[in-house]
Structure 1
Amino acid sequence: MRRIIDQKVLFRDLAKPWLGPLLSLMALFLLGACGYRITEGWDWGDCLWMVLITISTIGFGEVEPLSAAGRVVTILIIGGGLVVVQLTLQRFIRLFESGYFRRMSELRFRRRLRSMEDHVILCGFGRIGKEIAEELQYEGVQVLIVEANESSQKAAEAKGFNVLLADATLDETLILAGIQKCRSLVVTLPSDAANLYVVLSARGLNSQCRLIARAESEEAANKLKLAGASVVVSPYVAAGRTMAATALRPIAVDFLDLLAGSQCEIEEFLLSSDLNKFKHLNNPTLAGLELGSKSGAMVLAIRDGTSLNTNPSGDVEIGPGQLLIALGSKNQLLALRRLLEDVLSNVGRVKY
């Protein structure tokens, strides 16, 4: 409620500088029209039209030949128009120098932020953040970057990203970024302490949000997991594993790279923990539900607790709390989601 009141006050303050010029212009139109009405006896439409072409210097010519009194009115309108234009230009210059238009741009940006949902919040636009943002942009995912450094903000905006210039460790920043409506939050700040602080704040604001954090050390990774991070990634460990996998299984690594650049996606479907949602299923097996034939997507694995069933057969049953991992195009995964919508958890989906 307080934010709504503050926004109304901000909007009123932004609109206030234009009241003077607008009221002056309206008064000039009204007085000029009244002058023509009195001196020439024209109807109000002709009077207002004459004032318009006089102030704008369009030069269409007079509606009708003017009397001497009408010419005096015209001279006064021209003089008044010059004064109003001059005052408006001076006001425009003062507003520009005071940062008025920057505040207007910030207001429009905040309105756009309020309309964002199912997006990814990326804290930090360093080397790793840049790669993440570009990959998400390529995949067509809406991204909001939170960055405290102005040079990094300009670099991100130059690439077409929405950037919130603020401190990601503050609760009000995460709320403004839409932590309650986002798909996930990725933290790539250069400091482990800052990453830990963001994860703690985000977990407190949205207990269901998927949090991915960067860690420079094993100790920091353990603390981030204790703080509530869903996934903790060490750039050095990830790079080492990728290089080792490339040396041992190059075809598999190439397949993942091809997958990232294709129309196919891997998506998780978290099933509800409510047993009652499964009672209406006559045959809760993969074959009985015909998930593959009806959607075209492929169920790659089913995680049930700590066990992982890869390449499950058709007689495997789905149940409460399971996590289905499927591969397919966007349309196929959407069709699969519709087939499972009655038994899905309310936790947002995650794509890779």
Structure 2
Amino acid sequence: MDLPGVEQVTGRAAVAVTLTVAALSVGVGILGIVDPTANFGPLAEHIPPAISQTAGFTGALTGFLMAMSAFGLRRGLRAAWYSTMVLLPVTAVQGLVQASPYSVPLVVLSVLSFPLLAVARDRFDQPISLSTSQLAAGGALFGVQAYGTIGTYALRGERGFTDISTMLDAFYYSLVTSSTVGYGDITPVTQEARLFSLSVVVLGTASFAIALTALLGPALEARFASALGRMTQSDLESLDGHVVVAGYGDLTEPILTELAARNREFVVLTSDDRDVSVLRGRNLNVLVADPADDDSLQRAGVDRARAVVTATNDDGEDALVILTIRENHQDVRVVAAASDQENEAKLRRAGADTVISPAVIGGRLIARSALGDQTAEQEAADVGDEPDAA
């Protein structure tokens, strides 16, 4: 029963150490650029200052890439796990090459983080889901830079660009031209090269505009969603070890009160607009969706949830939710509340792990209290006080 909590802690620790390695890589890289003298460690006497300084530049870049991987890990992305496992040895090697006392924590933490990420591998199992516009933006950027680089290199020398001699020079010219920076250090000298440069400018600005739209669009959507009290896809993907409350009704309210009082993370699935408005007004996590739809349950992170609770006023609706979960997510714990006592067995047959009948429990407490059982009276008092305490 404690395994999900352990996995959650391990996943968070993996994200934390990855962010720490990223910060160290950037910081040590900047120090290496400022002071490229390699004078510490077993490799110090064999590393020229130019190599150490280059390692500082690449170390800072690797740190930023590591930070991006850490944010991917926070979303549980498997691709981010792979990229982190590749970057950790790189940061360790870069720290050794910089041969600075500041790089010791970087090397040590990079080495220690590797087994931690390996143990937490199963925690990061989400695929990357890119929209069509994002794929188009990436393809446009890559295509334009490839076109500009290859074309510039083909027109090198007397054909158009006398200052171009390598593919790196060609890529540099393509990038600064398509981004409209245009330092002026490389200029076309023929009519053909000028026409080519114009095409790179037009295609480059268009591709950057597409990329900005694809990237800023989801960010603006997240801002509006936050202002309106809605959950974004990123919010949903960050849920882990939470409770999915499938449906909303009178029986659900005490459950939400108890979860909130215990500081448990949860999300409510309901398609009723009035219930959605009420719950959002209380700043509760709500997903507007059919709780009996498997796609809705997957969006709510049912596979990462600690449990699913279904306790509406309709036992038939609860049974449909249970059947949907059991059909596709057999390992998830399901707790149900039966409005009618005769439906307890039906909900169990549908696949609920635990079925509780509030009417039965209330009746038993009343009977025990009528017979003078003070324990029953105290239990009833505690139940009645809990919502007010929350």
Give the structure-2-normalised TM-score: 0.43
- TM-score, normalised by the number of residues in structure 1: 0.46
Higher helix share: 2
